[in-house]
């Protein structure tokens, strides 16, 4: 850590807040250092306000470094950049002359046990990454929540010590994206805020909070405004911003549909005063996108953002009230937020619909109502006192229809999802 | 919910394979099988072989449904069924696998033959409907079970995989 030259290390949070408009970012990762460098260079030179991304491969995500070695030896393509495997000099060369204060690069990974990943990214001169003890544990594997909470706590504390050498480390919550789809927004907002509080509790003060676009624009606006109000009320330091993710469920298959949906995400970001947007590409429904497809997506989102305007919607809403209730119920369980999160899942105070992880109670269900809003079909043991929706049984056929709702809506010719009045 | 008798007709274990983090296929299968009157133990994604085998030894299901969509199912699924078929106490349990089992669609026939030879009662390849799978599950209701098993091995080739994905 002492070898870090702080003049060359970006302050990711400060950069985004000072950008003067929506910052757009890809989800790009390649196994080859040359391709990774080319992807970063193309992102930087895109006609948009951008930050860079190094997305790691799925073997590195689960700590299977032998599989990385085998894949590289056999010339089998990796689905991301194996930052732990490569010598730090390799990653420094990937970033050299590209990453820096004028172009911060964030590492994206998806690991419940990210110790080696944190060490590798810091050693290579980077200071921004993302995830969280809940959001990188429950959806993607079998790591016990207690183990994830313990390892994330240690990693965040170690990461926070970058400030001792004059570098401001930045962490983004992935909690606003749980399962990609069919989790009602109030719980997404609650988990995103709780993970930001977890980062603060372990010493990182520059944070961003995520929210993934869901099924209805008006509901999404309500959710992001709720998220902003809760951050303003609850986060102990003003260095925070909101990052919107373009839809993470089944993506439209037509280029028109894919661009319309991405454009809607850009409108959402601008309407709610969000500072950053993670884009998706036209290739998303079929394969890992190329660098060119990523650049097209970044530029399309930037153009839509330029012609979108902020809304002054009410910050009070049913989503705000529900999210606030969930957050308070969790925080009241224990003064240590990691313990509070574990207890909350054990009691079903947090319960992610359709998540099959052994530490998730699995009693909640979400569905899409006839206006396209995500609703609770079953709130399980969530501490939402009054009935927040009419209970109903989710059938296999109903689930399939809901999972493809957005794809169908946006792929339809003359989709009925064109700009909402006032945006 | 389906209007059939209230008592579950038995337990079905639904499971992903060790290397596959996909979830929505498993959620869909659980709802489908529950609608047909069975209780479901859903082990979720990234299931180690021994967890599946031990769970089956404990709950004694009438059927094991393995689903995989990441292209490694023909390897992981093969290892899994060999482990399951070595357990005498699980003799006779119906085991099926389905989804997108290989990286290359051209290998589907060959993969399916290997999986059946190793002990699966049916392989549900990618791309068809869910009707035959539903018929198979329905036929496992106690009052129907005896006639069914022999002809499954050759005739059933539909799809277990709703087209679903998404991860980080």
CB–CB contact A142 B24 (8 Å): no
**Domain boundaries of chain A, sorted by first residue:** 6-306
Q: What is the DSSP letter of A22?
A: -
Which of the pair, B142 or A46, is modelled with greater confidence? A46
Q: With beta carbons under 8 A apart, name residues in chain A contacting B21.
A: 58, 140-141
Q: Which residues lie below 8 Å from residue A142, measured CB to CB, with a gap of 6+? A: A357, A358, B44, B45, B46, B47, B48
Distances (CA, A) of A306 to A24, A47, A171, A263, B141: 12, 12, 27, 11, 60
Q: What pLDDT was estimated at residue A387?
A: 58
CB–CB contact B47 A110 (8 Å): no
DSSP for B58-78? Answer: HH--SEEEEEE-SS-HHHHHH
Residue ranges of E strands in A167-248: 170-173, 206-212, 240-245
Residue of A nearest to B47 (CA): A142
Ranges A56-70, A219-233, B80-94: which has the least confidence: A56-70
In this prediction, residues B19-23 reach a mean pLDDT of 86
Ranges A31-40, A71-80, A108-117, B63-72: which has the least confidence: A71-80
In this prediction, residues A380-386 reach a mean pLDDT of 86
**Residue A2 pLDDT > 70:** no
Domains assigned to chain B: 11-155 (3.40.50.280)
**Residue A320 pLDDT > 70:** yes
Cα B120 from Cα B114, distance rounded (Å): 9
ipTM entry: 0.87
Q: What pLDDT was estimated at residue A59?
A: 87
3-state secondary structure of B20: coil
- Residues A244 and A265 sit within 8 Å (Cβ to Cβ): yes
Cα A191 from Cα A326, distance rounded (Å): 9
B88-117 pLDDT tens trace: 999 989 999 998 887 666 778 888 999 999
A168-210 pLDDT tens trace: 999 999 999 999 999 999 999 999 999 999 999 999 999 999 9
* Partners of A210 in beta bridges: A243
State the smallest CA–CA distance between residue A103 and chain B in angstroms: 23
- Residues A102 and A23 sit within 8 Å (Cβ to Cβ): no
Secondary structure element (H or E) that encloses residue B118, with its range: helix B108-118
Which of the pair, A421 or B36, is modelled with greater confidence? B36
Cβ–Cβ pairs < 8 A, chains A and B: 66
B120-134 pLDDT tens trace: 999 997 766 788 899
**Residue B149 pLDDT > 50:** no
Fold of A6-306: TIM Barrel (3.20.20)
**Residue B155 pLDDT > 60:** no
- Give the closest of A61, A248, A357 to B44, CB-based: A357
A327-352 pLDDT tens trace: 999 999 999 999 999 999 999 999 99
In this prediction, residues A340-366 reach a mean pLDDT of 97
Q: With beta carbons under 8 A apart, name residues in chain A contacting B31.
A: 394-396, 399
**Residue A419 pLDDT > 70:** no
CB–CB contact A356 B164 (8 Å): no
* Partners of B99 in beta bridges: B68, B125
- Residues A86 and A38 sit within 8 Å (Cβ to Cβ): no
Q: How confident is the model at residue A298 (pLDDT cuts 50, 70, 90)?
A: very high
Residue of A nearest to B42 (CA): A356
CB–CB contact B28 A399 (8 Å): yes
Cα A197 from Cα A207, distance rounded (Å): 9
Cα A349 from Cα A161, distance rounded (Å): 33
Q: What pLDDT was estimated at residue B19?
A: 81
Burial class (CB in 10 A: 0-12, 13-18, 19+), B51: middle
**Residue A272 pLDDT > 70:** yes
Q: With beta carbons under 8 A apart, name residues in chain B contacting A179.
A: 23, 166
- Give the closest of B31, B46, B165 to A141, CB-based: B46
A208-230 pLDDT tens trace: 999 999 999 999 999 999 999 99
**Residue B153 pLDDT > 50:** no
**Residue B146 pLDDT > 80:** no
């Amino acid at each position: 850590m002492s070898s870090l030259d702080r003049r060359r290390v970006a302050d990711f949070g400060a950069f985004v807040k000072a950008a003067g408009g929506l910052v757009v970012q890809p989800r790009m990762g390649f196994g080859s250092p040359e391709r990774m460098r080319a992807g970063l260079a193309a992102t930087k030179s895109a006609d948009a306000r951008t930050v860079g991304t190094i997305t790691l491969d799925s073997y590195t995500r689960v700590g299977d470094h032998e599989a990385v070695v085998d894949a590289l030896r056999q010339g089998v393509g990796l689905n991301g950049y194996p930052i732990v495997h490569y010598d730090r000099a390799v990653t420094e060369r990937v970033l050299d002359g590209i990453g820096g204060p004028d172009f911060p690069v964030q590492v994206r990974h998806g690991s419940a046990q990210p110790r080696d990943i944190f060490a590798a990214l810091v050693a290579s001169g980077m200071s921004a990454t993302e995830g969280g003890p809940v959001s990188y544990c429950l959806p993607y594997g079998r790591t016990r929540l207690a183990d994830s909470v313990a390892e994330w706590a240690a990693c965040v504390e170690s990461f926070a010590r970058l400030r001792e050498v004059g570098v401001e480390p930045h962490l983004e919550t992935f909690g606003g994206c749980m399962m990609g789809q069919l989790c009602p927004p109030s719980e997404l907002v609650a988990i995103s805020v709780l993970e930001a509080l977890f980062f603060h509790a372990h010493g990182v003060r520059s944070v961003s909070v995520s929210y993934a676009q869901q099924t209805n624009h008006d509901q999404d606006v309500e959710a992001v405004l709720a998220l902003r109000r809760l951050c303003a009320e609850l986060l102990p330091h003003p260095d925070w911003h909101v990052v919107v993710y373009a839809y993470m469920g089944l993506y439209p298959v037509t280029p028109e549909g894919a661009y319309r949906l991405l454009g809607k995400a850009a409108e959402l970001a601008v309407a709610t005063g969000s500072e950053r947007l993670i884009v998706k590409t036209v290739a998303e429904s079929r394969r890992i996108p190329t660098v060119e497809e990523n650049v097209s997506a970044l530029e399309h989102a930037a153009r839509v953002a330029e012609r979108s305007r902020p809304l002054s919607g009410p910050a009070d809403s049913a989503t705000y009230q529900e999210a606030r209730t969930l957050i308070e119920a969790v925080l009241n369980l224990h003064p240590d937020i990691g313990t509070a999160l574990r207890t909350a899942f054990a009691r079903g105070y947090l319960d992610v619909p359709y998540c099959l992880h052994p530490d998730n109670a699995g009693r909640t269900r979400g569905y899409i109502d006839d206006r396209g809003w995500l609703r609770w079909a079953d709130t399980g043991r969530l501490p939402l006192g009054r009935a927040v929706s009419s209970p109903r049984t989710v059938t296999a056929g109903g689930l399939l229809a809901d999972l493809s709702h957005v794809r169908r809506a946006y792929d339809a010719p003359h989709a009925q999802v064109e700009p909402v009045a006032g945006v | 919910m389906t209007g059939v008798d209230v008592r579950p007709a038995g337990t079905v274990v639904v499971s992903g394979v060790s290397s596959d983090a996909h979830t929505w296929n498993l959620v869909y299968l659980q709802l489908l099988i529950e609608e047909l009157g069975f209780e479901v133990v859903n082990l979720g994604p990234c299931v180690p072989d021994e967890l599946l085998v031990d769970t089956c030894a404990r709950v004694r299901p009438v059927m094991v449904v393995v689903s995989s969509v990441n292209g490694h199912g023909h390897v992981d699924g093969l290892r899994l069924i060999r482990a399951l078929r070595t357990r005498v106490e699980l003799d006779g349990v119906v085991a099926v696998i389905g989804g997108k089992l290989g990286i290359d669609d051209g290998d589907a026939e060959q993969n399916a033959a290997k999986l059946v030879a190793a002990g699966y009662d049916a392989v549900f390849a990618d791309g068809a409907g869910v009707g035959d799978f539903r018929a198979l599950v329905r036929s496992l209701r106690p009052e129907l079970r005896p006639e069914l098993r022999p002809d499954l091995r050759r005739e059933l080739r539909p799809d277990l995989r709703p087209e679903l994905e998404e991860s980080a």
